[in-house]
Structure 1
Amino acid sequence: MEYTPARQVLSKYFSQEIISKLEEEGVKSLYPTQLLAIKNGVLDGENIVLSAPTASGKTLVAGLAALKHLEEGGKVLYLVPLRALASEKYKEFKKFFGAFGYKTVLSTGDYDSADPALGKYDVIVTTNEKADSLMRHSAPWFPSLTLIVADEIHLLGTEKRGATLEVLLTRILMSEDTPQLLGLSATIGNLEDVARWLHAKPVKVDWRPVVLREGVYYDENIFFADGSTRRIDSLGNSVLSLTYDTLRESGQVLIFSPTRRAAVAEAKKVANISRKFVAEGSKRVLQEASRKLVSLHADKLTHELAELLLRGVAFHHAGLSGDAREIVEDLFRAGHIKAVVATPTLAAGVNLPARRVVITDYRRYNVELGYQESIPVMEYKQMAGRAGRPKFDKEGEAILIARSFEEVEYLFKKYIYAEPENLQSQLGSEPVLRSQLLAVISTDEKIRSMDMLEKFLGRTFFAQRYGTFGILPLARKNLEKLIAGGLIEEKNGVLNPTFLGKRIAELYIDPDTALEGIRLFKEHESLEVLGYLFLVSKTPDMTTIGVRRGDYEYLEEVLEDRGREIPYQVPQDEIEYEFFLSYLKTALLLEDWINEVPEDSIVEKYDVGPGDIYSLTQTAEWISFSLSQIAEILGFHEHSVKLSILSKRIAHGVKEELLELVALKGIGRVRARKLYEHGYRSIYDLAVADEKELLRIPGFGPALVKAIKQQLKSPVESQEEVEGERLEEAEQINLEEYFGV
């Protein structure tokens, strides 16, 4: 297909020098997606909501719009829903904008900072939650933003995170100098509604660089939407048959499985086929990757993955550590592994295209409801959109698997011929709205009266869809609870946050988390460590781990032996009791972590993955820190001190005696324990230690010992230097740095 030369279109907007650099960066022609976006004014400052298939060129639309702003002295904020996607975009933009002399930075996590150092950068890539936190802290550089890109904007409709993006964009829309807004998505059912809310033009593109063929597999045949049929050699298993058919034609396959356990099991089956297609040149790379994984993590799950890599296949889900997931993604992109079996979280995250996408099941077990339900059409479209590798494939295939001939027709009607669901606002949820109300009242001085609050709510996507009739009574009800909790004061129609309320909003926690902590602080002068961990696990901000049938006996024994350490009555209701045990199990996992139980033992004992441990401990650390701050404000000094120490222990996974040692860079929980066991129990001990003696400790080489000594000699850095260094460290290690390939 002939594409329009970029120079022909972009000469209106950029200098010849910039256009020449764009061509050096590979931007020599423009896709229809980019042409239509430009035609609709994306380079003229118009707000745009662009709905276009995966790999059709949406990111370059954002890149060109950002470059236009940067050339005019502007600043760009690029929003994504997930950290993994933020990391991917950061790497891409650092190279792209760096070619023009502009600096890109990645910022995720740490929700209690205005991050003033970010102001030194031209392009800031961050998650929706981090951007919301920055706005709550009145980041000084925020008003200088001239373009905000909201990638994967369809996640506006997701239950847990959609309201954050909605309120963030609403506040931006109500700012005095509203920056240009660019929304990007592959799937929006009600595109016009979203565009109308953002005062933007809706731009819908159906073109793809690789033709997508959607179909259903049944009884050794693929029935395609265009009416054609293809017979597949049967291997006695649908997934194996489709995989073999793909690999023997030099393609790659991405298989979506409904659960983690199913993904691992499916990958093991696929390994018997994929191992035959591993190229000789890939074997050394895969061996190095496998060794790297084993050296990073000792748990069974990672070892299973390491074994499978040698056979050209991998599984991918949130239970894996971040570095393990990144290794899988890089190896697949480079063509070293031929098949990846993933849970659907991958479809909403990083870009990982394949010749054929196979969706093994359109049903998903809903833990909260207790039964299987059909996946949304939007989720199917996200998975199907991964089919087809630009520059490698002429067409991509997305295949659903049917279990009966009747189901073939059902799958076509339900998913292939269907449009994605309309996006729905999540502000109608009472706890969600309560948290957001506290945030806007606490951190936006313009919204301090009922009139202004009603005006704000009237500007939300919820009001765009349903009007304010449904949300105003709910807002008043939530305000009453916030006032009763001492977080907001109302006087003569003016709403003001209390010092406590403002701090809770800044700490980025649910008001109910704070109120639950305050209640316990008032009832108990002090708590045991397990009691604090149970409190943390019970808060609405915390994710808990499920209870298996085999857990009951063990957990009930813990209750019998240590029940006095838990500041809650054991509930009699069967459902509440199961939740109670889930909080206890999560608290016990955290307790094992801070008592330095090895990661692989925790993985085995609690049936979690390294990625789960990372996620749980990150959240628990933040909740503990936040509760310590709240306790200090209210004068509960002992609670504050204990929770502050606990948050540091959770951050590093150590007993209290090691906290001084793990404060050093390069010293984690394992190395700190080795130092302690060899008699180095403080910073002073290390400062006066002989380097030759330190080198005798297993795992302490010359470079590490030198780095430790250098830290102890260095003068205290300025806050700005520390912040800048932290931002630079945000860049993820890529495959080349791992293996030198």
Structure 2
Amino acid sequence: MTLLQQEEDFFSSLIKAILKLKQITTLTDIQKKAFKEIESEANLVIVAPSGAGKSLIAELIVLRSTLYERKKDGGGNSTTRDYPNKKQNNESPSQKSIFLVPLRALAEEKTKDFLTTYKPFKLKVHLSMSDVDFNEEEILNSEIIISTYERFKVILNRIPQLLDFVENVVVDEFHLLGNKSRGETLETLLTHLVGKVRLVLLSATIANPAEIASWLHAKLLLSEKRLVPLEYTIITTLTPENEIKKIIRENVRAQAQMLIFSGTRKKAEENAKEYADFIARQCYQFSKTFDRTEIQDYLERLALPKETPGNALIYELAQKGTAFHHAGLSREAKKAIEDLFKRKKIQVLFCTETLGAGVNLPAREVIILDTRRWNNEWLSRNIFHQIAGRAGRPGYDDYGKCTIFTSDQREKNAIIKRFWTRENKLKFDVVKSQITTLTTLEKMVIGVIYTSKPTFKELIEILGRSYFNFREENERKGKSGRAFFELLLRGKTTPEPFEELFQNLERKFQLENLQIVDQFEGENFQRITFRDGQEIVMLFLKGGIINCNCNGSKILCKHAFLVMQKMPRELRKKIFYKNYAILDRLVAEGYLKEIPGKRLTTTTKGTIMAELNVSKERFEMLRDWLIYTLQRKKPTITSLLIECLKKQPNLEEEIFGDNREFLQPIYEHIILRRDFKAILRKNELFEGDLFRVEMRLREFIAGLIPLAEFLGLLSLKERFEQLAFLLTDAIFNNQ
């Protein structure tokens, strides 16, 4: 029997075993399309509705790879496939696959699934979510690593050789590539990985999957078929209470569960309390699975503390067949609610959009009470359809139903226009690159150099693989971005003549409809006004720095290019270098340096910035804060804690508005070492909120320790270390 036949027989046997473990008898449309690709080495972009079985495809790829390599090597060392940009190295204890998800809850759920569902395979699974569970030996000896995007980036920074032993990287919810706060990190990660590993990307909601697939040289597997058809209804009413009760009654009577989404956590809690008694009456009368005593016993066994504000309400509501679910709850409370819902003890769950991207809790019907968020911004189309997609339980329902409530006809028309096309098809958001400014490009450059230590040529090649460049090249109709990147990165020291590279950039822009209509010269600035088609755009030049108010690229727009094009050569060169020569500036400012072999690497300063994962502006602000504020104040541990909390970015404006309201609770918990639960009761805080603020504060302070040492502020470094220890001890030992 040939090796190919052996591998095919192994795969066939494995598939049968896995489908039996998962109790699957029929493959879905997307699974059938993907089946023959599981054994290939091709990158895959898989887009299908929620509940269509995308995760199983990724799991089969990971299991096949892991178990076949284990079998081939007799359980010993594994080998890696021949990827063109990958070092071949057989010294790692095991070949690896990575599962990346956006949320801790999803990571924990995926870890549990691998360890329980696939228990017969005795998989070596490692969950890495923070410095507390960072264990290099465990990571190197694992077969499957499960983490978030941001955490895996940290792992690669600390163990760059790990990538030599990674074969597959699965990225769930990859549409977050277009998310303002997380997209830049995910793009940097994918840019680094493409060509070195097999990429498998999963999403239910995206408008431009073919573009993403083309960028990653991946095969696109697309299906619009849901296992359970979904019906939408929009109800216009000023008093939705009666309609909501009617829908609740119908579902409980039919032994079906419901999810009701609100725009804010406060509304989710208030709605749960408002409808609780009505839901309890329906459960007592119609539900075959509702059992108040069983729910009470379950919560007692779980030992979920009753005395905290959120938990006390959960105890009360759960025994009436309902509950609420949002980010403020502790992980234990959320897990309890999710488990009770899966057991059909909770019939109606009131929640926020965070559940839309969280664990899978299918129900027969979904009600969306708010299509706008707390700040009156529309829900993103992707989130909206993720929420609606929870409706319809495979194996139970002939159809799922999503009911949307609105107050007037005008808003109803706006909802239809936003979330559906004229052909009545679902409308999704286009995923765009979040490398949109010189600041984000600069941060990406430092991150790439920190991880890869490339030559200049290799750096150009890596950045050329970015989604940012892919979209830019599409706009340039396929023309290379080499001149663009070489000028932006190296500037003065690029081997090619500046003028030749600069003039090559003209192909990037469409200047035909661009006209300068006015120029004004003030005392120390110039203002140039353009007519750009039907739009009026103004560009300001002050002290050699260019600022343009256009909606185009904030890295280098056509208005800035035209202004420089009309300058004398030497002035053009000077202005361009001052604004755009990223590498020259980063080297001059001490973030980067060249090492033997003409390789670029980060200095100590650049390394600290990369590990903090902040922009250069943010890094320099933190540096000045340490030198000119903290060092001069010579703060005590208490005052240092307060200063750090004030300096940390706010967690969520909807919830807090300002971190300062956490000053007293955190002071009492970390410094005075008072009981965590008592602090929650006293300040009427949710456990999840205080925990997240303290965790982020701990990570922030841990990042400041090497910065203080680099600056020679040793007494401040010692205080940061003491504070980090106190936070770690309080967070993990006193809850």
TM-score interval, normalised by the smaller of the two chains:
0.7 to 0.9
Q: Secondary structure at the match of 1:335?
A: coil
SS in 2 for 1:242: helix
- What is the rounded CA distance, in whole Å, between the counterparts of 1:456 and 1:15 in structure 2? 35
- TM-fit CA distance, 1:513: 5.2
Q: Which residue of 2 aligns with 1:66?
A: 62
SS in 1 for 2:200: strand
CA distance 1:635–1:257, shift in 2 (3 Å) = same
User: Which of 488, 501, 510 matches 2:592?
Assistant: 488
Match of 1:610 among 672, 687, 703: 687
Number of the residue aligned with 2:274: 269
1:528 equivalent in alignment to 2:605: no
- Kept in 1: contact 2:290–2:321 (CA 8 A): no
Q: Aligned residue for 1:710? A: none
- Counterpart code for 1:455: E
Aligned match of 2:35 in 35, 38, 41?
A: 38
Amino acid at match of 1:47: N
Residue 255 of structure 1, aligned match among 254, 257, 260: 260
Aligned partners of 2:654, 2:35: CA distance in 1, in Å?
Answer: 49
Alignment of 1:57-456 (within 5 A): 57-73=53-69, 74-110=95-131, 115-174=136-195, 178-218=196-236, 236-276=241-281, 277=283, 279=288, 282-291=291-300, 295-296=304-305, 298-366=307-375, 372-416=376-420, 417=424, 418-446=426-454, 448-449=455-456, 451-456=457-462
- Stretches of structure 1 lacking an aligned partner (at least 5 in a row): 1-9, 221-233, 367-371, 549-578, 655-661, 663-667, 671-741
1:45-92 Cα offsets, whole Å, 9 max, x none, are 221101001111101111221122123314211111111011111111
- Shift of residue 409 of structure 1? 4.0
| Whole-angstrom CA distance in 1 between matches of 2:146 and 2:133 | 18
Q: Which residue of 1 aligns with 2:523?
A: none
For 1:89 and 1:649, the matched residues in 2 are separated by 31
Q: Which amino acid in the other structure matches residue 361 of structure 2?
A: L
**Residues 691-730 of structure 1 aligned to structure 2 (within 5 Å):** none
1:406 to partner: Cα distance: 4.4
Counterparts of 1:499 and 1:83, CA distance in 2:
31
Change in Cα spacing, 1:248 to 1:538, as seen in structure 2 (3 Å) is same
The alpha-carbon distance between structure 1 residues 652 and 476, as it changes in their structure 2 partners (threshold 3 A), is: farther
Contact 2:304–2:332, Cα closer than 8 Å, also in 1: no
Residue type matched to 1:498 in 2?
T
Query: What is the aligned partner in structure 1 of residue 571 from structure 2?
Result: none
Matches within 5 A, 1:658-673: 668-669=733-734
Contact 2:128–2:134 at 8 Å: present in 1 too? no
Structure 1 position 537 matched with structure 2 position 645: yes
Give SS of 1:653's match: helix
Secondary structure, aligned partner of 1:214:
strand
TM-score by length of 2: 0.74
Are the aligned partners of 1:513 and 1:540 in contact in 2 as well (CA < 8 Å)?
A: no
Match of 1:464 in 2: 470
Q: Distance in 2 between matches of 1:114 and 1:502?
A: 21
Report matched runs for 1:45-56 at 5 Å. 45-56=41-52
User: Deviation of residue 545 (structure 1)?
Assistant: 6.4
Identity of aligned residues (%): 28
The Cα shift of 1:238 comes to 3.7
Corresponding position of 2:78: none
Q: Quote the RMSD (CA, aligned, Å).
A: 3.1
Count of residue correspondences: 593
Taking structure 1 as reference, are residues 208 and 101 closer, same or farther at Cα in structure 2, changes over 3 Å only?
same
Q: Aligned-pair distance for 1:647?
A: 1.1
Q: Secondary structure at the match of 1:357?
A: strand
Specify the SS of the correspondent of 1:183.
Answer: strand
Equivalent residues in 2 for 1:653-692, closer than 5 Å: 653=730, 668-669=733-734
2:607 corresponds, among 502, 514, 533, to: 502
Alpha-carbon offset, residue 630 of structure 1? 2.0
Q: Structure 2: how far apart are the matches of 1:145 and 1:303?
A: 45
Q: CA deviation at 1:306?
A: 1.4
Query: Which one is further off, 195-204 or 537-546?
Result: 537-546
The 3-state SS of whatever aligns with 2:339 is helix
Pairing 1:637–2:633 present: no
- Mapped contact 1:332–1:338 kept (Cα < 8 A): yes
Q: What is the alpha-carbon distance in structure 2 between the residues aligned to residue 413 and residue 137 of structure 1?
A: 47
Q: Secondary structure at the match of 1:72?
A: helix
Shift of 1:217: 2.3
Match of 1:731 in 2: none
C-alpha displacement at 1:471, in angstroms?
7.5
The match for 1:568 is: none
Q: Which amino acid aligns with 1:287?
A: Q
Q: After alignment, is 126-135 or 408-417 more displaced?
A: 408-417
- Give the letter for the 1:32 counterpart: D
Summarize the Cα distance change of 1:291–1:285 in structure 2 as closer, same or farther, 3 Å threshold. Answer: same
Q: Secondary structure at the match of 1:141?
A: helix
Partner of 1:700: none
Task: Name the structure 2 match of 1:675.
Answer: none
Whole-angstrom distance in 2 between the partners of 1:592 and 1:332 = 35
Q: Secondary structure at the match of 2:356?
A: helix
Structure 1 CA distance, aligned partners of 2:63 and 2:28?
18
Alpha-carbon offset, residue 495 of structure 1: 4.1
- Alignment CA distance shift 1:458-1:48 (3 Å): same
Determine whether 1:18 maps to 2:18: no
Cα 1:316–1:290 shift into 2, 3 Å: same
* Separation in structure 2 between the aligned mates of residue 189 and residue 180 of structure 1, nearest angstrom: 23
Check conservation: 1:43, 1:64, Cα contact below 8 A: no
Please tell me the residue identity of whatever aligns with 1:439. Answer: G
Matched, 1:593 2:597: no
Task: Confirm or deny: 8 A CA contact 1:294 1:302 kept in the other structure.
Answer: no
